[in-house]
Structure formats: structure tokens, C-alpha cells
Structure 1
């Protein structure tokens, strides 16, 4: 039976993908960094749900060893764990930027580098990297998150070249707006880590906070849209190097290729 390890399954895309794949008879090893969420996953029928904080290399090693002891192989690793830190570049301190990278980039990288030797030994595997439409284009006030996703793009594009002569496939997911707790977490991170009151962008922040609770996001899709693509990747003998998910990703990806930088900037400034 094909198996998959998924990071960041406490809610949203990770949780919904785990449930979707379980119904498709894929053996799922979901992980979460909070013990309460691991228990929640076990209550949902994931008996092999495991504790994993991707910023802790020893925990990554333990998860890999546990799955190998149970199954003897790991077919797919889905680097899904991550969050968004909003705020203008000048309002984000270096420690907060570093914190964003610890999970979104360095955690992803450590998972990737630890699973590659396993996949080399077994002769095959798929590594799914959760990037974003913001790994393709940049939006105002998303500098930390943009930078983390651009970093994932660069690492994975390079990794694909380095694994070209193997049957190990690194795959990028460029998701657009998905129904999840992501936006609420981002609001909490903005209020926690940005001095809104003393920022030159105070009014923009306050307007954005208000609109995030009231404004309907266009082109938003359910987390099952991502889960369906992950399932498609699992079934493919040779998956594509990247998959766009949501109409917003297709549209903005196309406009980036079509428009000049200055024209694209004018358009992107209209997106909150």
C-alpha cells in the first residue's frame, strides 16, 4: 500500500488532505506539533498519527524511523506545515523574519534532506512542497511570507535538477486562497509581532484587519482542492514539477508572464 507522511495536520489543508487520502485507501501518517492535535487525529481514526515540530531535527528523524519500522518504506512526503506572518518589510524585525523561515523554509528543508537518503535507498519517492501563489507573485505587506515561499521555489527547482537521474520527484504546489484558519492565524501574527500603532502603515493595517473579517475572498476554494491534487500526484508515475491550485494562481501566474513589472505592480497594489 502507498503511504504518505504529512506535516502540519492540526487543521486546514493538512487535516483535510489526510482525511481525503484515507478515504482513497492511501496509508496516511499525519503529524502535528501539538499533542492535543495528535490525539484529535487518533480520534479520527489515524492510529499512527505522530508528534512532529518541523523545527526540531531529532523529531523528524524519529518520525522517519517509526514509519520505516512499521512499513519499511516511505513513498510520499508532503511538506505542508507553515504559516503566514503579515507586515510591511520595515515593520518586521529580523528575529520575526527568522521565525517565519524556521518553520516555512528551514523546517521544510530539514524534512527534505532527511527523507532523500531514504528514498535513494528504496529507489523511488515523491516530495511535495507546499509553496503558494505568493511564491510566484508578491503582495504588499506579505514580505516575510513571500520571501519564505520564494525560497521554497528556489530550493525545489534546484533539487529537481539534482534528482534528475533518479525516480525521486520533487513537486511544488502553488495554492491560492483556500478555506482554512490560515487568515485568522495571520491576523493573530500581525497583532502579535507588528507595532501597528506606531507604523506608517497603521491605517492600511487597520483597514486590512477589518476587511479580513468582512470581505469575501474571490476564487477561494475548499481544502479538498489541494487534497485532490496530492492524490493525483500520488497516482502519477511521473508527476509534473508544479501544480497550480485555484483560479487565482492561474490568473496571477499568467499575468506575471504577460505584464511588465510596473503594470503588474499596479495590479497587485489593488489586492488586499
Structure 2
């Protein structure tokens, strides 16, 4: 199936995207890869690894937030190989923090990377896939695209949108033999939480002076809680390859230990109130509630306790 196939991967300089490129190159020696990400040096490192076995690799440095660069990426792939058989929209990141405190610019960038970039690239390649007789589109979402949780509101919102887009595309493109699937990783051993923590510090440097100050230590704690369940990038890449290879691909592929069970419990079985309690404790919002109750109590008793 993958003989001479052209696969375009965004976010290919590290993590899941890099693992997918290397694995495809290893398993299918005559595959042709288009690798896109912002960092040319990292992309070229991945490309050199792939070239040890792959027939051809095209590196296209791309800022997925820039429409012109996304369009140029699609054009470069077509000019380089004449077709694109599979698109893997993998580029993404997580913007963490309470919704109240995040700026409109934070929201715009989150959606630009996780939703608008994949949308523009997909739109550019649909006519190509239709003309060549079909293709595959894999959108890498997250369990956070099915489950919303505190401090991850922008991230989940962008992934919910990506999943809705995928469902719509799956129905609209079926008659053109263009198959659309979503891959939903859970925790992954990448720099996701490091990037999320850095983004949080940039967006909210004064978080400790707000009513949400208890969240200052939340991200490292969350990373510790999830580390034992985290998959490697290579494991997630294997699921993406399964979605690419399946003759009749499923709408969604869960790439997480216990992910299907969690989705069933959280969306079908457990009362909403219990689900809310679980997530509030997991993401330390319960500590924010405790601080706020103490603050209100101090006001009522006349004791001066500082609370922004």
C-alpha cells in the first residue's frame, strides 16, 4: 500500500511527528516524506535519519500559524512529488491556565496552531487528493478533544474543534475516496508539559498573585501523575500508521492506556458531578476552592488574609 506513497507530516521535527517519519521510513523503504515544522535544523536531523532507508524526503520549514506558509507547504509538496497520498496534521501544543486569565492573543495562537493551520492545509490538499482518486487525512487530536478539564480549556476547545472538523470532512469527502480519521493520544512522553509550563509562565507571570495561585505547582504534579501511563511517541506513531493502513479506517483511534475505558466512564457512565470532582482534584482546582473558602471565611470573621 505504501509503495511510492507521499505522506506529509506537520510537527515533524520532534515528538510524535518525528517518530512517525522515522518509523515510516524504516518500514517502507520507498516511501516519500514531506516533513514540516518551524525548526529547519531539527527537521534536517529527522530527514537525515529517514534518508538512511527512505527513497526521498522533502523538508519544508513552516510556521503553521502563517496562512501563506501553510499554502506554500502544500504547493511545495505538489511541486516536489506531484501528489500527496496522506496528510498527517500532527502539529500542536497546549496552552494551560484558567480561562479568566488568558488573553485573546493566547486563544488566537492556540487555535491558529491546533485548528486553523490544519484547516488551511487540508483545504489546500483536498482538490489534489480528489483529482488523484483519493487519499487519507489523519488529524492528531487528544483525549482532551473529547474530555474538557480545568486549566486546559483553550487546548480542549481547539481539539474539540479539530474533531468536529474531522467528522464533517469524513462525511463530505467520502464520495471522493478521501478517508478522514482522528487519533487521540493520552499522556505522551514528549516535551508537552514543559512547553505548557513555559507557555503558562509567559502568559501568566503573575499567576501567584491571583486567586488561582494554588495552580503554580499544578503542572509538575500533573506530569508526575500521568508519567506512569504515558506512551512513547513511537507507540502513538504505530497507531497513526494503523489508521493509514486500515482499508476501512475508523473515525477515531484511541492511543492511550485505558483510554477507551476512561472515555466510557467520563462520557457515558459517571454522573457529571463526579466527573467534575475528579478533574478538579486532578488539576488542583480543589485547592483554589479551598483557598477561596478560607478567604471568604476570613472576611466574615474579620481576619485579614491576603487574596488577590
TM-score (norm 1): 0.93
Shift in Å at residue 57 of structure 1? 2.5
How many angstroms apart in 1 are the aligned matches of 2:50 and 2:182?
Answer: 28
Q: Contact 2:26 / 2:50 at 8 angstroms: preserved in 1? A: no
Aligned counterpart, 1:58: 68
Aligned counterpart, 1:173: 183
Shift in Å at residue 51 of structure 1? 1.0
Name stretches of at least 5 consecutive residues in structure 2 with no aligned partner: 52-56, 284-308
Match of 2:253 among 208, 232, 243: 243
Name stretches of at least 5 consecutive residues in structure 1 with no aligned partner: none
How many angstroms apart in 2 are the aligned matches of 1:146 and 1:128?
Answer: 18
TM-score (norm 2): 0.83
Q: Contact 1:177 / 1:248 at 8 angstroms: preserved in 2? A: no
| Within-5 A mapping of 1:198-237 | 198-203=209-214, 205-212=215-222, 214-215=224-225, 217-237=227-247
**Segments of 4+ moved more than 4 angstroms:** 212-216
Q: Contact 1:20 / 1:227 at 8 angstroms: preserved in 2? A: yes
How many angstroms apart in 2 are the aligned matches of 1:217 and 1:200?
Answer: 28
Q: Contact 2:208 / 2:216 at 8 angstroms: preserved in 1? A: no
| Within-5 A mapping of 1:28-177 | 28-46=33-51, 47-177=57-187
- CA deviations on 1:168-188 (whole Å, 9 max, x unpaired) are 011111110011111110010
Are residues 1:264 and 2:300 paired? no
Bigger CA drift: 184-193 or 17-26? Answer: 17-26
Which structure has more RCO (C-alpha within 8 Å, separation ≥ 6)?
1
Shift in Å at residue 213 of structure 1? 6.3
How many angstroms apart in 2 are the aligned matches of 1:30 and 1:248?
Answer: 31
How many angstroms apart in 2 are the aligned matches of 1:36 and 1:103?
Answer: 20
- CA deviations on 1:153-205 (whole Å, 9 max, x unpaired) are 111111112123221011111110011111110010011101312221111x2
Larger of the two Rg values belongs to structure:
2
RMSD over aligned CA atoms reads: 1.7
SS state at 1:15 partner? helix
Shift in Å at residue 212 of structure 1? 4.9
Aligned residue pair count: 271
SS state at 2:155 partner? helix
